[in-house]
Structures are given as structure tokens and as C-alpha cells.
A and B are shown apart, each in its own frame.
Chain A
């Protein structure tokens, strides 16, 4: 692109958003180069519009200049979804932060895309309601980003991921038009594109408003930790609980590495010699929580649980969850760098898959921490390393092997973090050309020019080729064809 085109576009964006809200100097765009994953790439410019109309005008300006657009929320994504490939312009929703309405009768929240996830539940609570999706990043990650990635979180086990909780969205389309999809009333005439938009990782448009489902707060909540001698017995217990048809509100596994890291960071005093723990939460009517708790405890004991610690107070419950949700920073104390994957496997396969994952990490010589949503089979193996000593190639190779194990067990590449630019070339492992073509047709219906977040989700393209890891990743995806 010529510098003249770029300069003109920056001036256009400045006239739409105001000079203070457009960044283009290298030092200013630096923080927009990356998300919480590994790759980075400077955008051409960053615009921070204040409302839907400004977003639409920014999108039109970029389109007229022939420049691609990347929607960005808080940038906590883990799959490179917000990284600007091919000199794209980033449009940030940081200034759209209003909660417009909490409709306690129809149980709906109407919010801006830049509202952090946790604020929705906070606003709903006085009405006896809550917003179910609870990604561990919920203090910062935004509703727009949660929609982009179809975010989950521990309680997605019982309540489902974002897609189950988004009733309608207002979206700026790639041509700058504004459209509303779905509705508070269900099954409106015509196609309901909401489930297509949720999880589309910013490739169909920029969500500028969302109508979210709120749920009544449960009558009773019980939280407990079951302690196992090793990972396998904990995994067997989790499989057995699901096989019994019991679906807790949340069920998380913490392995020994995680337990020790969490102990070092928080005052939780988890038993250091446990090989794994299941953090389980059940919600509902008192009768239900009581019955589920005893059934789960019995199944855990059958699989060799050594003890069960019940959170007796609200403070203790919060402490356990804090340890879980801030587990990643705790693990960062072990090694400065980490790489996390997000594959999902059938729940009956958990014990074997976890054995394989740990064997792969061992073989490559990495410390691995497993702290994850075991109830829905959503793995989060975290490989810990130090880039000053280790190469990224090795980490990526081990990660690809883990992905392969998951896919071979009948699983999927991602449960909640999305494909982004991190896993797009691995899509061939799961889908054939016809399957991808069907998705491409859906995309083209919205974005025939491919100007919205190019280089993401779909494999094969070159838009992100300038990113160093792209070459390694392609090699791995093609070399380990299954």
C-alpha cells in the first residue's frame, strides 16, 4: 500500500473519531500488536470510535482505501484473533462501554461490545439474575470479544458457552451498513444469524450492541474440592460423573504443577502431595445440590479420591475460584513463557488423552500444567518454557502433537479460544475442503471481499505470512496430516 493511501486513511479516521482517538505512530500502536497469545504484528493504524455510527464510518473509510479491518476488544484472546495481518486497521471497542438496560422481566441485558464480561453479572445481581458465561479473563475481556470467540468458562459446563446466551446483536457489516440479527423474541421470521456470528472471530463484522440472556441466581450453590493421588484417577472420576448423567455447574481439574503454583501464589493451602484435584460446583435447588454432591463425592471415592474439602463459607468458595481463575499468573512464576492449547475431547476419553498429553510434554522436556474445564472435555495443557533457552519451534511442535492426539480421539481444535491465526492451518485436520467451502460461503455472504479480519479461521491464505511462526505452523499442519 502506498504511504499516501495510508496517510489519507489515517486523516479520514481522525476526522471521524477525533485525533486523540486514532493511533498510527509506532510507539502508539505497539500495545495493539499482540493479544494474550504468541504472535505479534503492527497494525497500519488503530481507531477508537465512540459509537456505532463512528464504527460504521471507520469501516467505510477503510473499505474505500482498500484496507482490511480487525475488530478488537480487550485483546485477551489467545489465538491471535486480533492481530492485524496484511497492514490492516484495528478498530477498538474500548469506548463503547455502556450497559443500556437490564430488563428484569424478560431477563435480558442490553450492552455495548466494550463492556467487560463481569460487569454484566454485577449489574444483573441486584435483580436476582446473573450472566452465565464466565471466562477466567472476565474482569477485562469484553462482551464483543466473548461473542467473537464464543467464550466459555468453567460454568459453560452447565449453562453452555456464549452462543447459548446471546439473543441478538447489532453489527456493522463489512460494507459499513448496520444490521440487527436475532431478537429478544425467539424465532423471528427469516434466518437467525446469531449462532453464525457468535464464534466468527470478527470475520463477519463488528458487533456494536448485544442483547444477552440473564438467568435467575440459583437457590443453592455448593463448591468442593476432591483430591486424587494422580491425574488418571481424577480424570476417571470426571468421566464417571458425566457417564452417570450428572452435569455439575462447573468441574475443573488442577494437576500437581498447578496446585503447587497456586499454593505459592495464594493462601489456599491445597494439599501439596495430591496428584490432581477436581474443583466441582453444583447449583440449583437445595435438594438437587445435596443429591448431586453426595453422588459426585461417592463417584470420586470410587475412583480413589483421598479426601473432599467443602467450601463452608462464601469467602472460602471465592478463594477456591480465585485460585482457579488466577491460576495462569500463578503458573507464570515457574517459567516466564507459556503456551496453551484448547482442544476438546470426548469425555469418556479423558484419562487416556491426559496420559498422552503428559507423555508428549515429557518427551519434549517441558513442564506441563493442566488446569482446565474437564467436565466438558476442554483441555488446557499449558507448556511452560523460557524463550531465552528454549525455541518456539519445539513448543509449537509439542503443541501440534497434543492437538493431534485430541483430534484422533474424536475431538475438536478449540473449545473456547477460537482458531484465529494460531490454528487456522490445522483446520484441515478436522474438516475436508467441502466443509471449509461451506463455511467460506457463509463468510462470503457477509464479506465477499474478505476485508474483515483476513487471515483468520480459514487455512491456506497468505495474509499473515509475514508473521514468523506462520511458516513453522504450516509445516507442522502439513507434515502431520491425519
Chain B
């Protein structure tokens, strides 16, 4: 077994596990707990480098075999999947019923559902669909001592005890391993179009019902927007965008532009309040990150997240809060 593939910041674990069911996963974690070994949980590894380097690293637990769709109930707009299922595999299954889990990730073939939730993956369409956790309705999680604990359920509205499933989102595998998750779904949009628009349009665009708005600096510098929904509505919004010298771009180009890098190791994420004026974002970033902000991506809107690339780590966390 080549343990080097689980290498993290120069640290290589002494063991790895690749469970294909929850019971085996739980046993492995329970044993690790008893021997006081430390674990790093791996999904597709697209965001494994975000955050601090682990203080200790004995075992890599690879979840990619804990995969598959447990249940998809199209009539309820919900599904339950195992944590190691890739975003692409889930999307393919859901598409057969005209449905989707509305979270865009940089590398859907590699990224797993569990890792996407656990790392609170930034998605440009948070502008329209909000946080990834808002599309999670329940989970089966394995806690650090191997306890298997469920939270939430399979219904879309629920106040039956603490909402631990949402809490786990963004905890990067430090509180629990997501073995199985139940998700809320939506219908696939009838039309999706992406544009590059004049940067001066930024303030005006706030008033349009966009799916995503991304501002980048560096060599792809520009203001990019995506419109999605009913064809007739997308058509009208697209016409309004023409006022800002919009040029349509293909979906491949969109993906390459808005997801600049999946190698999270050289990526600093800074969170900023949404919709702050373009100038002030640029200034704040420049002040806080200096040259690191040379190449940055800003996902605007309901969930603004600024992701300067190519920066060295900026301290104890590679995610940097500019402002509450």
C-alpha cells in the first residue's frame, strides 16, 4: 500500500483504512481511539489541504469506497447517499429524475459529498442557493470514539433535537465523519447561461436575480455572472446583461474561471461580507494579504468568499476573516 498518496504537508501516515460500510468505519475509528492514534479523513482530497497541518497523523481513513446512493425519493425531492460518493456520481443519478443537489464544486469527479459538506465547500451559486449546509437534512456520523450517531432525518423541515448535521458542515472532519447524509434536492434548471460582463457593472448587478457572480483578479481578471432557471426568465435577464457589454462564455470556460484551483494547499480563503463595493474588497484584501491578492476570486452575494491564490499560509488558519 502506497501511503505516500495520503501525504499531507510532508507528513505520511503509518496506516490507512478504506472501509466500505459504516460498521467497519466505526470499528476502525473506535480502535484508533483506543490506541490513541490520530486520524485524517480523506474524501477526494480536493480540499484536504485547507486549514492547519495536522498536529499528529497516524492513520488515513479513505472514504471513497463508502459510496453509493442509499435512497433517492424523487417525489419527495430528497435522497440519502454514502459520504464517499462523488459529486459527479450523485449528479448523474439525480439527473435521471431531472433533479440535482445545487452545490457546485471545482472537481466533481473527485470531490465527495461528505468532503464537500465537511469542508463547507465554496460554491459560486451560493448567491442563489446559499450555504451547502442548507441542503443537508440529516446524517449518520461516526464520532471520534467510534460511536455511530444519527441526526436530523429525511424530511425537509425538522426541529427534532439539535441539528448536528448542519453543525458538522465546515468542521473539516474534526468532530465527526459523515458516513451517510440525507440531502434536499431541487429541479434541474431549464436554462443556464454564463457571461463575462463589464466590471463597472458590479454595483448594478446586485439588483439582478443571478445564480452566481464571481470577480477575479490576475490573468483571468474579470467579472463573471451566471443566470439559471426558467428559459424565458434567463432570456430576459440575459438581455438586461447586454447593457453591460456581456459576452457569453461556454460552461467549460466558466468552470475554469470560477474554480481557479483545486490544489487547496496554495489557496487562502478570506471571508468578506457579501456585496461590499468592489473597490473596498480589493483594498481590504490588498491591505491584509499584500501581494497574495494578486490573483483572487471573489464569490459575491449571499455568501461572499474571497479566495486569493498562490499565497503562502497566513497564520494559524489558511482561512482568514477580514471582517465579521
Contacts and interface: CB of A to CB of B under 8 A. Distances in A.
Given A344-B157, A346-B155, A185 B273 contact: yes
A105 B164 CA distance: 31
Interface string A332-356: 0000000000001111100000000
A185 B151 contact: no
Given A164-B134, A192-B170, A416 B159 contact: yes
Contacts of B143: 438, 441
A185 B77 contact: no
A416 B163 CA distance: 12
Contacts of A199: 159, 162-163
Interface in B92-120: 98-99, 120
Given A285-B233, A442-B162, A161 B157 contact: yes
A348 B72 CA distance: 12
Contacts of A431: 150, 160-161
B62 to A, nearest CB: 24
B297 to A, nearest CB: 14
B157 A376 contact: yes
Given A106-B276, A287-B233, A288-B229, A163 B271 contact: no
A326 interface: no
B161 A184 contact: no
A244 B187 CA distance: 8
Nearest to B126: A186
A196 B230 contact: no
B163 to A, nearest CB: 5
B73 A415 contact: no
Contact of A345 (B122, B155, B166): B155
A376 B232 CA distance: 27
A242 B74 CA distance: 9
Nearest to B272: A185
A107 B323 contact: no
Interface in A89-114: 103, 105-108
A163 B163 contact: yes
A199 B153 CA distance: 15
Q: How large is the interface on A (under 10, 10 to 19, 20 to 34, 35 or more residues)?
A: 35 or more
Given A245-B187, A432-B150, A105 B277 contact: yes
B163 A185 contact: no
Interface string B52-77: 00000000000000000000011111
Contacts of A317: none
A180, A195, A247, A419, most chain B CB atoms within 10 A: A195
Nearest to B51: A189
11 contacts: A107-B274, A163-B163, A184-B324, A185-B304, A186-B120, A198-B163, A199-B163, A247-B186, A291-B232, A344-B153, A430-B161
Given A186-B120, A191-B170, A347-B156, 16 more contacts: A152-B157, A163-B134, A164-B134, A185-B323, A186-B126, A186-B303, A188-B271, A192-B120, A196-B164, A213-B302, A242-B75, A245-B188, A287-B233, A415-B159, A416-B159, A439-B162
Closest A-B pairs by Cβ, 6 of them:
A245-B187, A195-B166, A438-B149, A185-B271, A243-B75, A287-B232
Interface of B: 73-78, 98-99, 120, 122, 126, 130-131, 133-134, 141, 143, 147-151, 153-164, 166-167, 169-171, 175-176, 186-188, 206-207, 209, 229-230, 232-233, 236-237, 269, 271-277, 302-305, 316-317, 319-324
